Structure 1
Amino acid sequence: MKIYEKIREYSREKGETMREIATKYGVTPQSIQLYFSGKNAMPLTFLVWYVEHHPDIDLYALFSKDHDNIVAEPRAEYHKKYRKQHVIDSIVKILEDEL
């Protein structure tokens, strides 16, 4: 399953609409539809933003070809707010390990 497919399925399971995501991210619903359909590449800035707003996403599972479920194991009650650079560094590390 491709990254955009994983994000799209996760979003559907959460009950998020493309309009809600677009409003929060600051783009048009059509842009989100193009990302979720795979017609336009999903920008890294969108991925970082999405992961920041969905802390239960497991980055390794998101970028791994062997995992379809991208939800991490249940976490402790506190929720750590990820900094953008931390998320970018984690994505780069996973990609380096996988490639």
Structure 2
Amino acid sequence: MKIYQKIREYSKEKGETMKEIAAAYGVTPQSIQLYFSGKNAMPLNFLAWYIETHPDLDLYALFDRKQQNIVAEPKPTYGKKAQKQDVIDKIVAILEQEL
């Protein structure tokens, strides 16, 4: 799937109209239609703007021909990074309990 096709499908899923995208970007809806149909090459400025305004897009998936889904996976939340002393204290507590 080509980049313009991926962005077109993503836009449809989001319920965005070409008129809304055109107004936000500052071009005519016909320009957006030409980008999304592949008749005109999608300018790099437009592509950069679209990615900036849609932070859930996965840039690597967008450019990978094998990837169909271009929405990034939600980033996992990690707990607080353990301090070295906290780890040592836990090890000591376990050793005291076991020995």
Name the counterpart of 1:14: 14
1:50 is the counterpart of 2:50? yes
Give the letter for the 1:4 counterpart: Y
Give the CA deviation at 1:75.
Answer: 3.8
Name the counterpart of 2:90: none
Give the CA deviation at 1:74.
Answer: 1.3
Give the CA deviation at 1:76.
Answer: 6.9
Q: Which of these two proteins has the greater Rg computed from alpha carbons?
A: 2
Are residues 74 and 43 of structure 1, via their aligned partners in 2, closer, same or farther at CA, if it must alter by over 3 Å? same
For structure 1, the residue ranges without an aligned partner over 5 or more in a row are 78-99
- Number of equivalent positions: 77
| 3-state DSSP of counterpart to 1:51 | helix
Name the counterpart of 2:23: 23
- Cα RMSD (Å): 1.3
Are residues 62 and 17 of structure 1, via their aligned partners in 2, closer, same or farther at CA, if it must alter by over 3 Å? same
Give the letter for the 1:54 counterpart: H
CA distance in 2, matches of 1:44, 1:36: 14
Q: Tell me the TM-score normalised to structure 1 length.
A: 0.75
Give the CA deviation at 1:44.
Answer: 0.4
CA distance in 1, matches of 2:65, 2:48: 19
| 3-state DSSP of counterpart to 1:20 | helix
For structure 2, the residue ranges without an aligned partner over 5 or more in a row are 78-99
**Moved beyond 2 Å, runs of 4+:** none
